[in-house]
Amino acid sequence: MKTEKVWDVFISHASEDKNSIARPLANKLAESGLKVWLDEAELFVGDRLREKIDVGLIKSQFDVVVLSHSFFAKEWTRSELDALVSKEIAGNKAILPIWHNLEFEDVRNVSPILAGRLGISTGKGLELVKSEIVKAINEIGNKRRREHPVFAGNMTKKVLGSLPVGSILISNGVKSDFTPTLTEELGSIDCREHVWKKLKQIGYAGKKCYVFCDWAGYRAHLAARSIWT
């Protein structure tokens, strides 16, 4: 079962970096239209701290991690980072690292995995940090959306007529060579009667089919997972 994502971004940080980085960055991201989980905004008197943070982690789509000397000096923040990396490796998360008063060697000595990826430095200004985070979220989100069908369900003549020109129709079935029984690029609405006839001939009229926005979307989906379920 998929977990519903409530927040766009979870900001993981040491308390020493809250005033200078975490809070101002959260405000800038919120101004950009993102829903941000920041502990002071989401925790209330009487809340169980670890439990609330775990909910924030699970229900956030992206994790912005403010890496700093203070962050690496704390046991709980490093444990939180380990959990985030594990979730990302499993394909459930995307970590966006921010380097605050750190050099490459500082990060590599603590986390070689994070040192091997691009991180944005706060020394370049919070406005640029915010812009790069928003850009990364948009790019990753577009890539993920491309992997998913724009339609998955029983194909009817009405649905067929409503699909966008240039989209790719795939029947939910394969031939002996494991290629789809039917793969069809959809042209104009007036020219789809022949597609409906093909679906009827192979027994897929009214049965489950998939539709992708274009060939690139179809290939991206196949690279990510099998659709034949």
Query: Which amino acids are annotated catalytic?
Result: 80
| Sheet with 168-171, side-by-side order of all strands | 151-154, 208-212, 168-171, 183-185
d(CA 119, CA 98): 5
Q: What is the SS3 assignment for 45-72?
A: CCCCHHHHHHHHHHCEEEEEEEECHHHH
d(CA 93, CA 84): 7
d(CA 125, CA 52): 30
Nearest to 11 by CA among 74, 88, 69, 77: 77
Cα 7 from chain centroid?
12
What values do phi and psi take at 168, rounded to 5? Answer: -110, 120
